[in-house]
Amino acid sequence: AGMAVLESYDHAMARGATILAEIAGVGLSADASDIVAPTVEGPEAALRFCLADAGLNPEDVDYLNAHGTGTKANDQIETAAIKRVFGDHARSLSVSSTKSMHAHCLGASGGLEMIACVMAIRDGIVPPTANYREPDPECDLDVTPNTARERKVRAALSNSFAFGGTNAVLAFKAV
């Protein structure tokens, strides 16, 4: 379980809050090409829009919480989008899917994954993809398998993709 309080920086400072991270940007896209077959263009656009909105370059991002449903089509499309957007940095970007631990909670997944990103920034620990057994050669990213990994996380992204081609990416930064 988790809870997030979203408020302006000035309001948080005025009440003496401990600020864990900043929501730095958002990227949205809708490719709407098929109800269940994703395309690479939609997730790619959402990632690019998010980075631009957050004022981040690809190399500024240390962790990406993937939509990562564990399905061949979704994971391969998401990997391709990450590679297109992050280029050479995709190889050193820590990636995991926390759905492996909390399941796909549909609308609640984005909130849980936001908390995972904020905790990664706060604690300097990238959460794992639990039960990761056989790597897919088409998904050749730096996946954090089975055990959390220590890493300074300055910025993190969270991918959330829905049936029908609705794509959302949030960017979080250390404060």
Which tens digit of pLDDT belongs to each residue from 75-132? 888 899 999 999 999 999 999 988 765 546 556 567 788 999 999 999 999 999 878 7
56-88 exposure pattern, b = at least 16 Cβ within 10 A, e = fewer: bebeebbbbbbbbbeeeebbebbbbbbbebbee
Q: What's the pTM value of the predicted model, to 2 decimals?
A: 0.91
Domain that holds residue 55: 9-173
Q: What is the pLDDT of residue 4?
A: 87
Q: What is the pLDDT of residue 58?
A: 98
Helix residue ranges per DSSP H, the chain: 9-14, 41-54, 72-86, 99-102, 109-123
Determine, yes or no, domain membership for 107: yes
Q: What is the pLDDT of residue 53?
A: 99
Residue 154 has pLDDT above 90, yes or no: yes
Determine, yes or no, domain membership for 18: yes
Determine, yes or no, domain membership for 167: yes
Q: Which amino acid is at 62?
A: D
Determine, yes or no, domain membership for 109: yes
* Whole-number Cα distances in Å, 74 to 19, 69, 79, 134, 160: 34, 7, 9, 16, 11
From edge to edge, which strands make up the β-sheet containing 166-173? 22-30, 166-173, 155-162, 63-65, 94-96, 142-143
Determine, yes or no, domain membership for 2: no
Determine, yes or no, domain membership for 3: no
Please answer whether residues 126 and 153 qualify as being in contact, where contact means their C-beta atoms are separated by less than 8 angstroms: yes
Report the domain count for the chain.
1
Determine, yes or no, domain membership for 1: no
CATH number at residue 144: 3.40.47.10
Q: What is the pLDDT of residue 130?
A: 78
How sure is the predictor about 6, in pLDDT bands with cuts at 50, 70 and 90? Answer: very high
pLDDT in tens, 22-53: 999 999 999 877 777 778 999 999 999 999 99
Q: Is the dihedral of CA 48, 54, 55, 61 positive or negative?
A: negative
Determine, yes or no, domain membership for 4: no
